[in-house]
Amino acid sequence: MKADYSDTNPALGALYAPHIETLAYRHDHALSRAGASHAVIYSGNPKVAFLDDYHLPFKPNPHFVSWAPLTSLPFSYIVYTPGKKPVLIYYQPHDYWHVVPGTPAGYWTAHFDIRIVHSIDEVAAHLPARDKCILIGEIDDKALAFDIDRINPTTAINILHYARGIKTAYEIEVMRLASYRGACGHRAAEAAFRAGASEFDIHRAYCKAVSLTEPELPYNNIVALNRHGAILHYTHLDREAPDESRSFLIDAGAQVHGYASDITRTYSFNDERFQALIDRMDAMQLAIVDRVRAGIDYRELHVENHRMLAEILVEAELATGGPDTLLETGVTAAFFPHGLGHLLGIQVHDVGGFMDSESGTTIDPPSGHPYLRLTRVLEEDMVLTIEPGLYVIDMLLEELRGTPAENHVNWNTVDWLRPFGGIRIEDNVRVMADGSQNLTREAFAAT
C-alpha cells in the first residue's frame, strides 16, 4: 500500500493520544521536581517592529506546539494539571483588522478542555492558584504572566528539554510528512536551477511547491548558485541569474503541524568533475548514516566524518597526507568547519543537543570542533541531521598559510573548485535500536 504523505493522514489521530500521554508523564516529572502543581504554557505573542506599528511574523513557543499543532495562535495558554485533562485557553479576539482564529477542529481537540476567550482579561478566570503554578514561555509583558512568579524554572525546563530529544511516534510521523513536503520543494528547486533561474526565482519555485509562505518556513532558505555555495548561511537571493550556472547548493526545509524538516542537496549544472565530487560526498554521507544507531556517541561520528573527508580531499587532489595529519593540522576543518548535524524537531536546531542528563549538565564538543551542535550518545527515536560538507572558504584556507598545513593543500585544485563554492548533503535521520531510518531518502523516493 502506498504511504500516505498528506497532512491529514489518519495515522496522526491514532498516534496523538499516546503522544499526549508521554507529554503528561514528562510534565508530571518536571512538576514534581520543581515542587509545583500546575504547568501554564504560553503560546507567545507577536513582536512589534521597532519604531513602527506592524507585527513581525509570529513564532510560537515550541513547548506549546508540542502539546497542540497550533502555530498561529498567539495569546493562548495550555494549563496542565497531573491527572486532569489539559485546558486550552484559546484566544479568539473580536477583530476586524486581522484574520481571527477559527473554531478549534481536528484530531487533537478531543484531548483538551477548550475554553475560548475573546480578550486577554478573560484568561485569568481559567488559571489555577498562581502560587502553585510554573509558567513556560517568553513573557515580555509582566501582565501576561498573570502574577505567576515562577517563569521557566531551570529544574523543570532541563527535564523537559532533555526528554524532548526523544521523539514520540506521533512526532516522527509528522516529521516524515515534513520531509516529504521538503523533498517536493527540492525537486521544484532543482528543475528551476536547470532551467537557468535566478536564486530568487528558485526560492519562489520552492515556496510554491511546499505551499508555505516565507514566515511559515522553518528557517530562511539557503539558495546558493556558484561561489555562493561557500557561504554557509547564504540567504541573499540574487534577483538576476548568473552569466553561467555552474553549481547549486540548496538548504531548505518545510514544516507540518509545527515540526520541521531540514534538507540540503548540491547539484552540478554540466561539469563532470564537480559531479564526481558530489557523488563521492553523497556516498560518504550515506556511509555515515549507516553508522547511526542507538548507543553511538555522536561526537565520534563527527570526528570519523573528518577522517572520511580527509580521504576524499586526497582522492580529489585537494590535499595530500594521511587522515590523522590532515585532522591534526586543521586541513579538514578549513574545508569543513561546521558540525556534522544536530537534533531536529519543532525547532530546526532542537533543544537538548549538549545535555548530559536532565540535571542540565552538558557535554563539550570535541577539541577543535566548536560548532558541533549535538554531543549526546544517540538514543532510539532521536531525529537528527547528517550533513557533511566540503567548501572553498578563502578566509579559513588563508589561515593555513605559514603553518604546517599549507604544504598539505593543493592550491591549484582549490582554484579549480572555488567557482563552484562547495558541497553539502543533508538528510534527516531517525535513530533506531539497530540502525536508522532515513526520512529524507524515503521522501525523495516517494516524490
Q: Model confidence over 307-340: pLDDT tens digits?
A: 999 999 999 999 999 999 999 999 999 999 999 9
Domain boundary among 115, 142, 163: 163
What is the band of 96 on the pLDDT scale with cuts at 50, 70, 90?
confident
Question: Cβ(389)–Cβ(372) under 8 Å?
Answer: no
What is the band of 3 on the pLDDT scale with cuts at 50, 70, 90?
low
d(CA 374, CA 351): 10
Question: Cβ(342)–Cβ(350) under 8 Å?
Answer: yes
DSSP state of 139: -
Asked if residue 5 is part of any domain, the answer here is no
Domain boundary among 132, 163, 194: 163
Domain boundary among 136, 163, 190: 163
Query: Which residues lie across from 180 on neighbouring strands?
Result: none
d(CA 145, CA 130): 10
Query: Do 183 and 155 reside in the same domain of the chain?
Result: no
User: Cell 563527527 appears where?
Assistant: 302
Q: Is the dihedral of CA 434, 304, 232, 360 positive or negative?
A: positive
Q: Is the dihedral of CA 120, 125, 128, 132 positive or negative?
A: positive
- Mean pLDDT over 164-186 rounds to 98
At 10 the pLDDT is 81
Asked if residue 261 is part of any domain, the answer here is yes
Asked if residue 6 is part of any domain, the answer here is no
At 4 the pLDDT is 61
Count of beta carbons in the 10 Å neighbourhood of residue 145: 17
Query: Do 61 and 136 reside in the same domain of the chain?
Result: yes
CATH value at residue 213: 3.90.230.10
What is the band of 7 on the pLDDT scale with cuts at 50, 70, 90?
low
What separation in angstroms does the CA of 275 have from each of 59, 102, 316? 38, 49, 12
Asked if residue 25 is part of any domain, the answer here is yes
Show the cell assigned to 27.
Answer: 510534565
Asked if residue 205 is part of any domain, the answer here is yes
CATH value at residue 115: 3.40.350.10
Q: Structurally, how many domains does the chain consist of?
A: 2
Q: What is the dihedral of CA 412, 418, 420, 422, to 10 degrees?
A: 110
Query: Do 339 and 249 reside in the same domain of the chain?
Result: yes
Q: Is the pLDDT of residue 446 over 80?
A: yes
Query: Do 212 and 265 reside in the same domain of the chain?
Result: yes
Q: What is the dihedral of CA 271, 275, 277, 280, to 10 degrees?
A: -160
Query: Do 149 and 179 reside in the same domain of the chain?
Result: no
Q: H/E element holding 384?
A: strand 383-386
Q: Is the pLDDT of residue 99 over 80?
A: yes
pTM of the model: 0.96
Query: Do 305 and 178 reside in the same domain of the chain?
Result: yes
d(CA 118, CA 125): 13
Asked if residue 182 is part of any domain, the answer here is yes
Asked if residue 401 is part of any domain, the answer here is yes
Average pLDDT of the chain, as a whole number: 96
Q: Is the dihedral of CA 269, 270, 273, 276 positive or negative?
A: positive
At 5 the pLDDT is 56
- The candidate with the shortest Cα–Cα distance to 422, out of 385, 393, 386, is 393
At 144 the pLDDT is 97
Query: Do 82 and 111 reside in the same domain of the chain?
Result: yes
Query: Do 244 and 355 reside in the same domain of the chain?
Result: yes
Query: Do 137 and 177 reside in the same domain of the chain?
Result: no
Asked if residue 1 is part of any domain, the answer here is no
Query: Do 192 and 314 reside in the same domain of the chain?
Result: yes
What is the CA 322 to chain-centroid distance, rounded? 34
- Mean pLDDT over 197-214 rounds to 98
Query: Do 123 and 189 reside in the same domain of the chain?
Result: no
Q: Where are any strands of DSSP class E within 196-332?
A: 222-225, 247-252, 255-256, 259-260, 263-268
Q: What are phi and psi of 261, to 5 degrees?
A: -115, 160
Show the cell assigned to 440.
Answer: 529524507
Give the tens place of pLDDT for each residue, 108-118.
999 999 999 99
What is the band of 9 on the pLDDT scale with cuts at 50, 70, 90?
confident
Burial of 151 (0-12, 13-18, 19+ CB in 10 A): middle
Q: Is the pLDDT of residue 290 over 80?
A: yes
Q: Is the pLDDT of residue 98 over 90?
A: no
At 1 the pLDDT is 34
What separation in angstroms does the CA of 248 have from each of 115, 197, 284, 362, 396? 49, 11, 19, 37, 22
d(CA 204, CA 225): 15
Query: Do 158 and 191 reside in the same domain of the chain?
Result: no
- The candidate with the shortest Cα–Cα distance to 32, out of 148, 136, 132, is 132
Domain boundaries, position 82: 11-163
At 2 the pLDDT is 47
d(CA 199, CA 441): 24
Query: Which residues lie across from 78 on neighbouring strands?
Result: 41, 88
- Mean pLDDT over 372-383 rounds to 98
User: Cell 509545583 appears where?
Assistant: 36
